[in-house]
């Protein structure tokens, strides 16, 4: 899975809908938290393929979704007419 390029590119949560209305889409990047649980960071993708990480406008924290069901619900709220969404995951780590 490619690492997102976010240098100098951010998108505040309060402008996600206008961003999508202008032709953008969303991508979800899986990460592992300290306890090993998978979470997803949200990125806005422009038509030229460039990405901006979504941050919560009230506190400046990255938009982090903590379950695949929550990713589905968030995406469905943003794109009610779509048939589905791709939710990537990280490979499980092998313990020797």
Q: What is the pLDDT of residue 17?
A: 93
Identify each DSSP E strand in 1-96 by its residue range: 10-12, 25-32, 38-45, 51-55, 64-65
| Cα separation, 84 vs 95, whole angstroms | 33
Specify whether the CB–CB gap between 74 and 54 falls below 8 A.
no
pLDDT of residue 93: 67
Burial of 22 (0-12, 13-18, 19+ CB in 10 A): exposed
Cα(21)–Cα(33) distance, integer angstroms: 32
Residue 70's pLDDT is: 97
**Sequential pLDDT tens for the chain (96 residues):** 555 554 446 788 889 999 999 999 999 999 999 999 999 999 999 999 999 999 998 999 999 999 999 999 999 999 999 999 999 999 876 655
**What's the pLDDT at 86?**
96
């Amino acid at each position: 899975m490619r690492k997102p390029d976010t240098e100098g590119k951010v998108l505040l949560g309060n402008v996600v809908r206008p961003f999508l209305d202008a032709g953008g889409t969303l991508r979800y990047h899986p990460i592992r938290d300290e306890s090993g649980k998978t979470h997803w960071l949200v990125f806005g993708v422009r038509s030229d393929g460039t990405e901006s990480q979504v941050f919560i406008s009230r506190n400046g924290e990255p938009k982090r979704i903590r379950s695949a069901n929550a990713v589905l619900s968030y995406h469905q709220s943003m794109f009610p007419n779509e048939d589905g969404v791709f939710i990537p995951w990280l490979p499980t780590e092998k313990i020797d």
